[in-house]
Structure 1
């Protein structure tokens, strides 16, 4: 196993997803199938933070859930993302309760019920914070 190759999102409108990814999150579009169907449907490919994202035309998820993809960002960049995403009409969610030291997050739904998280922390930071909370609970 070498890591993630790509993430595919099934969307009703490829152009609307392009706006969300490029204008909202800062992705770069690198491919559009146009009238060709090399896979199951028309598609567009993007690069976001070095990750290949594929948007494929089809029937998106019928319901929203907490299942999501998270991208790491600098905390100083969160307000800019919030502003750009609000400007394109993406639905920003209120923040979930946080434990101090686990990083900040911005949660946003795209226009097809996919949930994205922009997160400022790392796995190492979160595990260290959780370990310190456990240590605080031990009888002394």
Structure 2
């Protein structure tokens, strides 16, 4: 069965997006193409826990906003800290979708290039339990 190797985001400004990953998520930069470019665009690699995230710079790409997103699980005790870091990065926190009580809380925000991120405090098991309780 396949597993996720890495996630790549195309960004207009590599430095600005790198700072967002580091300052909002606490990602650790582990590689920068700098003078030698091996891929189709200048790139940087990050580790977020054990997840490999790649950023590639292409100033010509304009992404539309959509609900396609990546969600990261965070402890509820860290929710306000993340909210503060997102605002400090100059990013707007979006209105979340309605929720059933007990399925967790979320913060949604778009990065500078219209990638949508969700920080979620619940688990799949909690969500399914809540959804199933409405089907009885």
TM-score bracket for this pair, using the shorter chain length? over 0.9
Residue 9 of structure 1: aligned partner: 9
- SS of the aligned residue for 1:52 comes to strand
How far is the alpha carbon of 1:55 from its aligned partner? 0.2
Flag structure 2 segments of 5+ consecutive residues without an equivalent.
Answer: none
Residue 134 of structure 1: aligned partner: 135
- Per-residue CA deviations over 1:112-134 (Å, capped at 9, x if unaligned) read 00001001111111111111111
Alpha carbons 1:93, 1:106 under 8 Å: kept:
yes
- Per-residue CA deviations over 1:78-127 (Å, capped at 9, x if unaligned) read 10011011011012112221111111101111100000100111111111
Residue 73 of structure 1: aligned partner: 74
Residue 43 of structure 2: aligned partner: 43
Larger radius of gyration: 1
How far is the alpha carbon of 1:71 from its aligned partner? 0.5
Alpha carbons 1:8, 1:55 under 8 Å: kept:
yes
- Please state if 1:57 is matched with 2:45: no
The alignment yields a C-alpha RMSD, in angstroms, of 1.1
C-alpha distance in 1 between matches for 2:41 and 2:75: 35
Alpha carbons 1:90, 1:108 under 8 Å: kept:
yes
The farther-off stretch of 52-61 and 98-107 is 52-61
C-alpha distance in 2 between matches for 1:61 and 1:7: 18
Alpha carbons 1:65, 1:115 under 8 Å: kept:
yes
Runs (4 or more) in structure 1 with deviation over 2 Å come to 59-62
TM-score (norm 1): 0.92
- SS of the aligned residue for 1:24 comes to helix
